[in-house]
Amino acid sequence: MGIIEMILLAVGLSMDAFAVSICKGLSMRKTNLKSMVICGSWFGGFQALMPLIGYLLGTLFAEAIRAFDHWVAFGLLVFIGISMLKEGLDKEDSCSLDSSSDLSVKNMFVMAVATSIDALAVGISLAMAGNVNIAMAVILIGVITFLMSALGVKMGCKLGCKFEKKAQLAGGIILIILGCKILLEHLGYLG
C-alpha cells in the first residue's frame, strides 16, 4: 500500500471522528485551542491505536487464511464503508442526539472508542493485505484524525451540522474504493 492509499485510508477513517467533532463544536458557544486539542487528541489517539491492535491481531492468524485474506480485507472495508454510507444517508440528524459539549475523560473515552471501532477492523484488513508499513499507516491515521477532529470542532461552532452527513458519505466511499483496490490487486487486475 502506497502513501496515497494510506492518506486516503486515514481520511476515510477520520470522517466519523470529524462528524462527531462537528457536533461537539456545534454545542459550544465559543471554541478555543484547548477544546480543539482535546477532541483531536482523543479521536486521533484512538484512531491510531485501534488499527495497530487490529494489525497485531490480524498477523496472528494471517498465515492460516493467506489463501483468502484479500477477500477478508475487501469484505471488512466494504462493510465499514457501506455502514458509513448508510449513516450518511440517514435522515435523522445525529448532531441533535449528542449536543453535549462535555469534554470529560469519561465522555471523550466513550466517543473515541465508538468512532474508532471500524479502525480495528481496518487494522485487521491491513494485516491481510500485506505489504503495509503499519508504522506509517498508524502515524498518518492518528495525525490526520487529530487535524480533522480539531477542524471539526471549529467548523461545528461556526457552521453547524451541514457537513456531517457529507463527511460520512465521503469516508464510506473512500473505504469501499480501497477495499475494491485491495481485492483487484490480489486477483491480478491491478499492478
Eight-class DSSP state of 90? -
Q: How far is CA 165 from CA 28, 86, 89, in A?
A: 20, 10, 7
- Give the Cβ contact number of residue 1 at 10 Å: 20
> Any alpha helices (H) in 62-163, and if so which ranges?
69-89, 94-97, 105-129, 134-159
**pLDDT score at 10:** 93
Residue-wise pLDDT tens digits, 94-128: 554 444 467 888 888 888 888 888 888 889 888 88
Contact 172, 81 (CB under 8 A): yes
Kindly report the pTM of this predicted structure.
0.74
DSSP 188: T
Nearest partner of 51 among 80, 21, 86, 88, judged by Cα: 80
Residues of the chain with pLDDT under 70: 27, 29, 62, 65-66, 69, 91-101, 160-164, 191
Is 22:163 a contact under the CB 8 Å cutoff? yes
Q: What share of the chain is helix, strand, coil (3-state, %, to 5)?
A: 85, 0, 15
**Cell 493485505 belongs to residue:** 129
Please report how the helices 105-129 and 69-89 are oriented relative to each other, as an axis angle in degrees rounded to 10.
140
At 129 the pLDDT is 79
